């Protein structure tokens, strides 16, 4: 049993985490706190603000105070980590780890580590972000040896709007992204504002290859860092690898 602290910006798909917690089946916990989001916008200035060291430090202190001792902590925001660039995102995680006193990561690095775990080197990217924000993630992935063959950017500005997308819309979106690059090893859906936990096996089945989603890889990374990296059914290909 492990406790993974989750730092989540704003309100959109935070309910994915208690849903996932029920599927872990070993008593592991995913306590979540909402970090400050002054402006809900997939825009560089707003993303740099929500991922600031002071914001994450305050979140780390609160989740530890509310949940007790943590085994790891994850900044569950993709755009609020890769927007800093590879080096900046690494400094962000290092600062969070120093404050929390436990292994730390962010969703951007969780995607990289999940791809490496599955031997994925080429991906099709289904981004809910505007194209310029999606491009920053493409560059982040490229820095870590992952090539984006095609990108579909839905150009949705707010996380709140992303959180309202229906399950059928998410499934159809993933299928369309995959169809644009059938040779890709996997499909990536990089927004933690997207509800996906209840769809992980269905996404893999619909697309016919691994579909990695932001909340999925965030949870997997936290458990991995906590030493609870084991096979878990019902959470997609990534969790079936242990």
Tell me the pLDDT tens digit for each residue of 86-116. Answer: 999 999 999 999 999 999 999 999 999 999 9
Say if 30 falls within a structural domain: yes
Query: How confident is the model at residue 44, as a pLDDT?
Result: 76
Mean of the pLDDT values across residues 118-141? 94
Shared domain for 82 and 152, answered yes or no, is no
Shared domain for 152 and 67, answered yes or no, is no
Shared domain for 61 and 77, answered yes or no, is yes
**Residue 164 in tokens:** 């309202």
Say if 35 falls within a structural domain: yes
Shared domain for 33 and 58, answered yes or no, is yes
**Is residue 155 pLDDT above 80, yes or no?**
no
Shared domain for 135 and 167, answered yes or no, is yes
Between the alpha carbon of residue 192 and those of residues 27, 161, 179, 203, the distances in Å are 23, 12, 23, 16
Shared domain for 103 and 13, answered yes or no, is yes
Shared domain for 210 and 232, answered yes or no, is no
**Residue 220 in tokens:** 């997997």
Shared domain for 210 and 117, answered yes or no, is yes
Mean model confidence pLDDT for the chain:
93
**Is residue 228 pLDDT above 70, yes or no?**
yes
Band of the pLDDT at 67, cuts 50, 70, 90? very high
Shared domain for 208 and 139, answered yes or no, is yes
Band of the pLDDT at 6, cuts 50, 70, 90? very high
Say if 52 falls within a structural domain: yes
Shared domain for 224 and 158, answered yes or no, is no
**Is residue 74 pLDDT above 70, yes or no?**
yes
Shared domain for 200 and 222, answered yes or no, is no
Say if 57 falls within a structural domain: yes
Band of the pLDDT at 40, cuts 50, 70, 90? low
Say if 241 falls within a structural domain: no
Q: Give the alpha-carbon dihedral of 156, 161, 166, 169, to 10 degrees.
A: -10
**Is residue 62 pLDDT above 70, yes or no?**
yes
Residue ranges making up the domain that contains 198: 111-214
**Is residue 160 pLDDT above 80, yes or no?**
no
Answer with the residue of higher pLDDT: 184 or 159: 184
* Cβ 238 vs Cβ 118: under 8 Å: yes
Q: Please tell me the distance from the alpha carbon of residue 31 to that of residue 63, in angstroms, as a whole number.
A: 7
Query: How confident is the model at residue 41, as a pLDDT?
Result: 64
Element housing 147 (H / E): strand 147-153
The sign of the torsion formed by the CA atoms of 99, 88, 50, 157 equals: negative
Say if 242 falls within a structural domain: no
Strand duo 104-106 + 147-153: pairing: unpaired
**pTM across the whole model:** 0.95
Q: Please tell me the distance from the alpha carbon of residue 180 to that of residue 168, in angstroms, as a whole number.
A: 19
Say if 95 falls within a structural domain: yes
Q: Please tell me the distance from the alpha carbon of residue 160 to that of residue 189, in angstroms, as a whole number.
A: 16
The sign of the torsion formed by the CA atoms of 195, 200, 202, 204 equals: positive
Shared domain for 91 and 8, answered yes or no, is yes
Q: Please tell me the distance from the alpha carbon of residue 134 to that of residue 105, in angstroms, as a whole number.
A: 20
Between the alpha carbon of residue 129 and those of residues 11, 105, 137, 160, the distances in Å are 17, 22, 10, 12
Mean of the pLDDT values across residues 58-84? 96
The 3-state DSSP class for residue 54 equals helix
Mean of the pLDDT values across residues 45-73? 92
Residues 6+ apart with CB under 8 A from 58: 35, 36
**Residue 233 in tokens:** 């059914």
Into how many domains does the chain fold? 2
Query: How confident is the model at residue 37, as a pLDDT?
Result: 85
Mean of the pLDDT values across residues 153-164? 73
Where residue 25 sits, what CATH number does that domain have? 3.40.50.12500
Tell me 41's DSSP state.
-
Say if 205 falls within a structural domain: yes
Query: How confident is the model at residue 196, as a pLDDT?
Result: 97
Query: How confident is the model at residue 165, as a pLDDT?
Result: 83
């Amino acid at each position: 049993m492990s406790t993974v602290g989750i730092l989540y910006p704003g309100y959109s798909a935070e309910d994915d985490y208690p849903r996932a917690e029920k599927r872990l089946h070993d008593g592991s916990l995913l306590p979540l706190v909402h970090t400050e989001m002054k402006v809900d916008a997939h825009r560089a200035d707003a993303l740099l603000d929500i991922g600031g060291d002071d914001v994450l430090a305050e979140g780390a202190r609160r989740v530890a105070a509310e949940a007790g001792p943590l085994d790891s902590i994850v900044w569950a925001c993709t755009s609020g980590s890769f927007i800093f660039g590879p080096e900046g995102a690494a400094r962000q995680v290092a600062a969070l780890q120093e404050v929390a006193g436990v292994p730390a990561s962010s969703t951007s690095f969780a995607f990289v580590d999940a791809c490496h775990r599955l031997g994925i080197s080429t991906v099709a990217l289904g981004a809910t972000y505007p194209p310029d924000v999606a491009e920053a993630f493409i560059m982040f992935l490229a820095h870590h040896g992952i090539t984006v063959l095609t990108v579909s950017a839905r150009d949705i500005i707010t996380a709140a709007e992303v959180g309202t997308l229906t399950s059928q819309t998410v499934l159809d979106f993933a299928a369309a992204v995959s169809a644009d690059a059938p040779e890709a090893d996997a499909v990536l859906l990089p927004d933690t504002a997207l509800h996906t936990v209840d769809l992980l096996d269905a996404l893999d089945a619909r697309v016919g290859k691994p579909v990695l989603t932001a909340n999925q890889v965030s949870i997997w990374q936290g458990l991995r860092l906590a030493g609870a990296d084991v096979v878990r059914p019902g959470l997609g290909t990534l969790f079936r690898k242990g």
